[in-house]
A and B are shown apart, each in its own frame.
Chain A
Amino acid sequence: MSDPTLLVLASLADGDKHGYAMLEDIQRFAGVRLGPGTLYGAITRLEQHGWIRPVRSAEDRRQPYTLSADGRRYLEEQLSELNQIVKIGLKRLKHA
């Protein structure tokens, strides 16, 4: 899974995070190092879709984001599809 938008959604699935926290989390759980430009391209698209939204923060500039209900549903659908592909791929490899 290397789609930046899915990585951001997966990162926010266990709690609100600001940009830097997302970069660190994504590197930890997926082994993917996103650049700031790529991350904010994904954040812009996700917010336009209504899948994430900014939340209030005590910090002035480090803006945390949260997953919306639509975003959670979309992530579940996408992961379910990926899971299906992984299952089929592994099954076929066994029989090859």
Chain B
Amino acid sequence: MKGLALWFARWYPRQWRARYGREFDALLEDANLNVLDVFGVVRSALEMRIKSTNVPRLLDMACRDIPHGYELESSVELPLEDGGKILFRSFYRQIDLGDSYVTLTHSSRGSGPAQTILICGKKGEVDGDFRTDETEMLVLQADGTVHRTEQTVKTWLKFDVMIDRVREKYRRGLSAEDIFGQMWSDSDNPLSS
């Protein structure tokens, strides 16, 4: 049983093996294993594999507090439907003046040209997890074109909660990988509450 379990333990994702592989193998060598334990290893390895391939991966991140707001830079590896991956890089700055705010996002996806989005918003009524804002948005494309729109938008307030959590974890010195891992965990993911 031990040999079988150790063989199936190779099914865990490479990242997981790099972190836990040696100690997990030591446990498999120490424990008295039965068939159910071997099935348990297979199931757990498959679960980890599904998790590791279906979610984006944060490669790098930097966060700075600035007067009335913050700046956040990140590089995220996004999985594609065909099994490939694409790199999404972004710089985000938010300045909040109480009744109004300004956000600047400069981002690029893969080898495509970067685009910059500037949003000025006036905060409106809050209803549950959403707030209705009056916004003016400028989209600056790399080819020199600029699109300007004014619209009333529903702002999802839990995004701010999520970013505050990320900033707090960053201040505590957690690595980008740990921060992202915790964002997807049940208790920290605002999508789950």
The answer to whether the Cβ of A80 comes within 8 Å of any Cβ in the partner chain is: no
Contact B41 A49 (CB under 8 A): no
In chain B between 130 and 151, which residues have their CB closer than 8 angstroms to a CB of chain A? none
- A90 CA to B144 CA, complexed, in Å: 72
What's the minimum C-beta distance from B23 to chain A, rounded to whole angstroms?
4
B1-44 to A contact mask, C-beta < 8 Å, 1/0: 00001000000000010001011111110110100110011111
Q: Which residues of A have CB within 8 Å of B40?
A: 35-38
Q: Find A35's partner among B22, B37, B188 (CB 8 Å cutoff).
A: B37
Query: Which bracket fits the contact residues of B?
Result: 20 to 34
Select from chain B the residue with minimum beta-carbon distance to A64.
B23
Q: Which residues of B have CB within 8 Å of A49?
A: 182, 185, 187-188
User: How many residues of chain A get a CB closer than 8 Å to chain B's CBs?
Assistant: 21
Select from chain A the residue with minimum beta-carbon distance to B24.
A40
The answer to whether the Cβ of B126 comes within 8 Å of any Cβ in the partner chain is: no
The answer to whether the Cβ of A43 comes within 8 Å of any Cβ in the partner chain is: yes
- Interface stretch, picked from A6-14, A18-26, A81-89, is A18-26
Q: Which residues of B have CB within 8 Å of A38?
A: 40, 44
